[in-house]
A and B are shown apart, each in its own frame.
Chain A
Amino acid sequence: NAGVTQTPKFQVLKTGQSMTLQCAQDMNHNSMYWYRQDPGMGLRLIYYSASEGTTDKGEVPNGYNVSRLNKREFSLRLESAAPSQTSVYFCASSEAGQGVYGYTFGSGTRLTVV
């Protein structure tokens, strides 16, 4: 079982470059999420998609866009990368929004913007 797959695992960008982080899940989950994790800040929600065809902003959406391509895939795009976006990015998926279901996380993308 692959679970949640993120690509790439590592990336170095120059300021102003763009890139898309890919995420795919094979658990038939409805909801998908993008988080970033910075030292001392914990995980902060960037965007989420409660179901296919919907996306909503989280706590820190500025500088990012997302696309829920289908039920399996949820991508995160940085249009013009900034050093402040240096972070570890985690994608996650879960069953429907309510209930005692937790999340399954991907292994993360470590992004450095120079």
Chain B
Amino acid sequence: RKEVEQDPGPFNVPEGATVAFNCTYSNSASQSFFWYRQDCRKEPKLLMSVYSSGNEDGRFTAQLNRASQYISLLIRDSKLSDSATYLCVVKVYNQGGKLIFGQGTELSVKP
């Protein structure tokens, strides 16, 4: 079983739609959580950190459920420019603070 699992998609949605990505992780020692965005053939870039209380950045909302070992990302009013692959990432402190990546969920927003 992979340490971080995501639905690979692709998710094909119209502009303005709300889309939700889910992610589960298996290592209970995971301490920090992130969503990264990766555009085609580019490097991953940090989208947002995820906190237990949930956090919002504009149209993006991230949630963490430690008991269920579950992370989510909600994108409201999606834009064409949101088309990318979204990577769920956990940091495990007892492994030298390494980031462990899910395989990513591809999003395609259509006009």
Contacts and interface: CB of A to CB of B under 8 A. Distances in A.
A41 B46 CA distance: 19
Contacts, number: 65
The B interface, classified by DSSP as helix, strand, loop or mixed, is strand
B103 A97 contact: no
Nearest to B43: A105
Determine the interface band of chain A, counting residues with CB < 8 A from chain B: 20 to 34
Contacts of A31: 96-97
The 8 closest A-B CB pairs, nearest first, are: A97-B97, A42-B103, A105-B43, A43-B101, A102-B46, A42-B101, A100-B32, A50-B96
12 contacts: A35-B101, A40-B8, A42-B87, A43-B44, A48-B96, A58-B98, A97-B93, A97-B98, A102-B34, A102-B49, A107-B42, A107-B43
